[in-house]
């Protein structure tokens, strides 16, 4: 781990330990670094009396499965997870505001939280949200999801032809480099610090906390 950016910070306090996890790196990197520290550089934490651990996620939102993974990784020997907390309010994490209309050239639509926009975003128009952006219409302007450093946010649209995409601090490649042959329903997301584009039907693989699969009667 020497020379690499540290994504896991372990701090002591009166009632135990606080694990501060970077909210900007891939979740898999967090797990790898956390496991390394518990097994190597911080292995002395695994000896002695019972220690309560409080995990701080910052602006990161995680699924129940990811919470279970953290519990299983940390709960060993004398370490016991007492809390896993995010700065994103739980009641707003999955709530979506629904708006309708047209975002014309020169206009900017801003929203705090997740947004479902029924309408078109024309070239020269911009739609910005701190959470996810789902557009039931044409996205032909700029969309910025996860404003304020939420790399877990996604951008989806029925007609996907944006001039530019942004998620958190990342800016998309030029549209002609995405390799999209048609304008089917697509979504953009961050993977290993790089923006990727997928068919909307694959959204459940990236965000199992946000969607459920319909399996018929």
Residue range 26-56, pLDDT digits in tens: 888 889 999 998 888 787 877 778 889 999 9
Whether 119 maps to a domain, the answer reads: yes
Given this model, what pLDDT does residue 47 score? 78
Instruction: State the CATH number of the domain containing residue 112.
Output: 2.160.20.70
Domain boundary among 57, 85, 113: 85
Residue 71 sits in the same domain as residue 109: no
Q: Are 63 and 69 in contact (CB under 8 A)?
A: no
Q: How far from each other are the two terminal CA atoms of the chain, in whole angstroms? A: 50
Specify the pairing of strand 155-160 against strand 186-191: antiparallel
pLDDT at 209 over 70: no
Residue 66 sits in the same domain as residue 106: no
* pLDDT above 70 coverage of the chain, percent: 84
Range of the domain at 162: 92-206
Residue 120 sits in the same domain as residue 41: no
pTM confidence score: 0.59
Whether 3 maps to a domain, the answer reads: no
Rounded mean pLDDT of the chain?
83
What is the count of structural domains for the chain? 2
Domain boundary among 66, 85, 104: 85
Whether 215 maps to a domain, the answer reads: no
- Both tokens of 93, joined, read 């994490």
CA separation, residue 180 to residues 65, 120, 185, 198 (Å): 32, 19, 11, 9
Given this model, what pLDDT does residue 99 score? 94
Domain boundary among 38, 70, 85: 85
């Amino acid at each position: 781990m020497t020379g690499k950016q540290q994504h896991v910070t372990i701090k002591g306090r009166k009632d135990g330990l606080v694990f501060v996890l970077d909210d900007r790196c891939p979740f898999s990197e967090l797990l790898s670094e956390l496991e390394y520290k518990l097994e190597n550089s911080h292995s002395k934490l695994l000896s002695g009396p019972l220690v309560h651990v409080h995990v701080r996620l910052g602006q990161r939102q995680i699924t129940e499965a990811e919470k279970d993974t953290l519990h299983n990784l940390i709960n060993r020997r004398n370490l016991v997870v007492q809390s896993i907390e995010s700065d994103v309010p739980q009641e707003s994490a999955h709530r979506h505001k629904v708006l309708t209309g047209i975002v014309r050239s020169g206009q900017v639509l801003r929203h705090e939280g997740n947004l479902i926009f029924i309408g078109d975003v024309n070239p020269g128009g911009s739609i910005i949200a701190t959470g996810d952006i789902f557009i039931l219409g044409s996205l032909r302007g700029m969309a910025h999801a996860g404003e304020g450093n939420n790399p877990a946010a996604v951008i989806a649209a029925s007609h996907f032809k944006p001039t530019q995409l942004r998620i958190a601090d990342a800016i998309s490649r030029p549209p002609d480099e995405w390799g999209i042959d048609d304008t089917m329903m697509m979504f953009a997301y961050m993977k290993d610090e790089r923006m990727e584009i997928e068919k909307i039907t694959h959204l459940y693989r990236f965000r199992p906390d946000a969607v459920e699969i319909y399996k018929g009667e």
